[in-house]
Structure 1
Amino acid sequence: MWAGAAVVVAVGWAATTAANAGPGDATAPVIEPVVLEELAHDPEAFTQGLEIDGAVLYEGTGLAGASQMRELDPSTGAVRREVPMPGNYFGEGITVVGDRIWQLTYRDGVAVEWDTATLSPIREVPLDGEGWGLCFDGERLIRSDGTDRLRFQDPADLTEIGGVDVARDGHALRGLNELECVGGQVWANVWPGDNIVRIDPGTGAVDLVVNASGLRMRGIPPSAQVLNGIAHVQGSEFLLTGKNWPKTFRVQLGR
């Protein structure tokens, strides 16, 4: 009788625990990227945002007075055009919306909208809080600010329309940085390391972790800073690079 009762209690406890489990409580699997190709990357580029749009790879770089919007060749990494960011702003994440690009600033309180054809700034709009990463899921902008919060914003004027808190294995995950929206999910660099996480923006749960620290063994000098650049190529293929990295890696991220 005692053993049976213990089983009942154990089963009841497990059921209660499962019922009370919140988003991000399940242990997220950890994988490593499979490198398919190495491309050149300007080691002077303090990469803050990376995104492919058709035959163009756009890169936003940072540092006050040195920030740029760049157009690159996605197959070689060669710089086609580069334009300084206005206002001596400290540039951050970027994303393409139609024929426009939004570029965040770190602590300058504005976001800059660019024209893709001329690569010229069109307007600036107020930005609440810090700007880190940015992506567009086809309906809304999703923005990180260095905390565990993803903010949802209107692509027309950056009005905040919602958000979600992010958790990995049941714990708040801070340092969310450069973002890439792919197939209803959000990929995020996690500052200040070389991990990338995949997030369900509906729940905030991390369901996959990419340990990309091994990329540093492929010719990335110790002086180079953190991994910070995710651009979706197709399927499970992505381009990954970092701040002041001399290489961009075309990789496959499984699962």
Structure 2
Amino acid sequence: MNKRNLFVIITLCALIFSCGSNADTKKKHFSIKTDNNQSKFKLGETIKASIANNKKIEIDSVVFFLGDIRSNSSSGFTYEEKLDNERLGKHLLKAIVYFDGEEEDIYKKITLLNNIPPKLYKYKIIAEYPHDQNAFTQGLEFVGDTLYESTGKNGLSSLRKVNYKTGEVIAKKDINRKYFAEGITIVKDKIIQLTWQSKEGFIYNLNTLEKTGNFAYNKSKEGWGLCNDGKQIYKSDGTEKIWILDPETLAEKSYIEVATHKKVKSKFNELEWIEGKIYANTWQKDGIAVINPKNGALEAVIDLSGLREKVTQHSDLDVLNGIAYKKETKQLFVTGKNWDKLFEIEIIR
């Protein structure tokens, strides 16, 4: 390569890099300033914000958004919003500033929290039933008296029908060893099953356990737990998000984020829909979180400490995971990964 060509290539690269850098680092004229630079707000509080305009540029108008929702309560160049039933978690407060025939989008990260601490519940064991010690439980759900169970680990993953009173596996479908199966939920005559990191889920016939289809994840990177309310499907992915899926296409439509009065929470595993709330195992915790599906508020924690000590102790014993509810009789059951017992428990409020 001659020197002239080399010089041209170097010059072009420098121009491209320079243009890219300028585009990425374009300095904003304005910023959003909240009172006392506050970034965390609780339900019942009021967010107050204004436009910081250090260059004293003449502003024509400003439009504020909380997430995707345009504010109707802003006045002039200020924003004021009392929090009521907003979804909790991380949000962007956005402003579009119009000035001198131009417009500029500016953002401020804020976090919305619940205004009530979670209640703490305990439990009482009602009954104990045998459970397959080799089942690495990932999903658990009743249809009538039949318990459906999803088990995990590569090469050991399965979908099962179980007689919960005896622990007998009535039917079992082994999953391809390349998949690490996760949570399940049942919608009408279909079983929906997640995989952990393969970004793919499966659909089965409820009666035969035959696979009838599959589906891809969208924005979520992993699959952890599933439940449904009869209209929508809820999916956890290990983050603070619980995704809301379309029951027909299984596409991720939106999400809630789980939060207490202090912070946003994550690592929700197996899910179960119980009397209008989402009950969720928290990975590596001996408890169940009770979550409001409308706004993500973590309303209560069921302390299940001591339950793990009541099963046979062995080298493969793992964490609490598995919640199943018989809504006809209002019975609640829990188990864990490689536990040899299924427990029926009563919540003590």
Q: TM-score when scaled to structure 1?
A: 0.89
Give the AA of the match of 2:180. Answer: F
Hey, what's the Cα distance between the residues in 1 that align with 2:262 and 2:118?
A: 10
Q: 1:68: which partner in 2?
A: 158
- Whether 1:163 and 2:255 are equivalent positions in the alignment is yes
Determine if contact 2:130/2:165 at 8 Å carries over to the other structure.
Answer: no
The C-alpha deviation readout for 1:44-81, integer Å capped at 9, x for no partner, is 00000000011210000001121000000133332111
- Whether 1:239 and 2:333 are equivalent positions in the alignment is yes
Counterparts of 1:6-17 in structure 2, within 5 Å, are none
- Whether 1:209 and 2:301 are equivalent positions in the alignment is yes
Counterparts of 1:85-124 in structure 2, within 5 Å, are 85-86=175-176, 88-124=178-214
SS in 2 for 1:119: coil
SS in 2 for 1:187: strand
Higher relative contact order (CA closer than 8 Å, sequence separation 6+): 1
Give the AA of the match of 2:245. Answer: Q
Determine if contact 1:25/1:171 at 8 Å carries over to the other structure.
Answer: no
SS in 2 for 1:44: coil
Select the residue among 198, 212, 227 that pairs with 2:320. 227
Determine if contact 1:240/1:248 at 8 Å carries over to the other structure.
Answer: yes
Select the residue among 343, 346, 349 that pairs with 1:249. 343
Hey, what's the Cα distance between the residues in 1 that align with 2:290 and 2:126?
A: 20
Give the AA of the match of 1:226. Answer: V
Give the AA of the match of 2:319. Answer: V
Larger Rg: 2
Hey, what's the Cα distance between the residues in 1 that align with 2:251 and 2:193?
A: 15
Select the residue among 208, 222, 226 that pairs with 1:130. 222
The C-alpha deviation readout for 1:12-70, integer Å capped at 9, x for no partner, is xxxx9773175433111112221000110111000000000112100000011210000
* 1:86 Cα deviation from its structure 2 partner: 3.6
Select the residue among 170, 179, 203 that pairs with 2:271. 179
Hey, what's the Cα distance between the residues in 1 that align with 2:114 and 2:166?
A: 38
Select the residue among 283, 295, 303 that pairs with 1:191. 283
Hey, what's the Cα distance between the residues in 2 that align with 1:72 and 1:248?
A: 11
* 1:236 Cα deviation from its structure 2 partner: 5.0
* 1:87 Cα deviation from its structure 2 partner: 5.9
Give the AA of the match of 2:148. Answer: Y
Hey, what's the Cα distance between the residues in 2 that align with 1:194 and 1:72?
A: 24
The C-alpha deviation readout for 1:85-104, integer Å capped at 9, x for no partner, is 24631100000001110000
Determine if contact 1:66/1:88 at 8 Å carries over to the other structure.
Answer: no
Pair 1:120–1:18, CA change in 2 (3 A): closer
Mean CA deviation greater in 88-97 or 233-242: 233-242
SS in 1 for 2:307: helix
Unaligned runs of 5+ in 2: 1-40, 46-82, 84-111
Give the AA of the match of 1:69. Answer: L
Hey, what's the Cα distance between the residues in 1 that align with 2:312 and 2:260?
A: 28
Q: TM-score when scaled to structure 2?
A: 0.65
Unaligned runs of 5+ in 1: 1-15
